Structure 1
Amino acid sequence: MRWGMMALALLTTGGCVASTGEDLTRAAARSVISRTLVSNYPGLPVEPTLSCIIDNATTPELVSLASDSVTGPTAATVQTVSTVATRAGTLQCLSRGGVSFPT
């Protein structure tokens, strides 16, 4: 039985590429940022905004956002997304894509 479960696990993960902790953190943060943008900033183009926020968030912010992906967006999530979105670097990134973040 144990060998069968191990074989099944190997078969299902055989095509997977190993991800770094940073990749996993970014993916989890993307999930919660996306939900936050959709629910709190309707009409804002999600993908370019999401990319600019991810690229301009600090590592501690990304870790915090990633942890929020487990429980779902909170008021702290919205605050973090707003803080990162209104940074000069993020605003420049957004303007290159023709996006204006509401302030």
Structure 2
Amino acid sequence: MRPSVLLILPVLAACNSPLADAVARDAAKRAVNPVVAARFPGVPLEPATNCIIDNASADEILTLATAAGAGANETATRIVLDVAARPDTIRCIATEGLPVLLNTL
């Protein structure tokens, strides 16, 4: 992600608009994907990432979106692991990820 985009994320987040939310979520996915791939091998990436993003708070999404441009970092990893451990996230991953996993067998 280009530095200019990183500078604009907090401004967009303050707008509280659907466009700002979509931009922040898209950027956050770039921080979540490598953590999911490294920490949860074998778990379908797309459903797991979506479940983590859907169960993260707005502040967590903004932090992840900002971290996306910096590559792997401890803050992003901690947030992903914290959100992944939440009961709603676990249910989401089981519901959304299991069918994808079974289709690959």
Q: TM-score, normalised by structure 2?
A: 0.71
Give structure 1 regions of 4+ aligned residues with deviation exceeding 6 angstroms. none
CA deviations 1:13-64 (Å, max 9, x no partner) are xxxxxx7111110000011101211223222210110111011000000000
SS at the partner of 2:47? helix
TM-superposed deviation, 1:79? 0.8
- The one-letter code matched in structure 2 to 1:62 is I
Calculate percent identity across the aligned residue pairs: 30
Structure 1 position 50 matched with structure 2 position 49? yes
Give the distance between the partners of 2:95 and 2:70, measured in 1 at CA. 33
Which of these two proteins has the greater Rg computed from alpha carbons? Answer: 1
Give the distance between the partners of 2:88 and 2:39, measured in 1 at CA. 21
Q: TM-score, normalised by structure 1?
A: 0.72
Unaligned segments of structure 2, at least 5 residues: 1-17, 100-105
SS at the partner of 2:29? helix
Give the distance between the partners of 1:95 and 1:35, measured in 2 at CA. 20
SS at the partner of 2:43? coil
Q: Determine which structure has the larger helix proportion and give its number.
A: 2
Structure 1 position 22 matched with structure 2 position 21? yes
Matching of residues 64-103 of structure 1 within 5 Å: 64-97=63-96, 98=98
Q: Which residue of 1 aligns with 2:32?
A: 33
SS at the partner of 1:20? helix
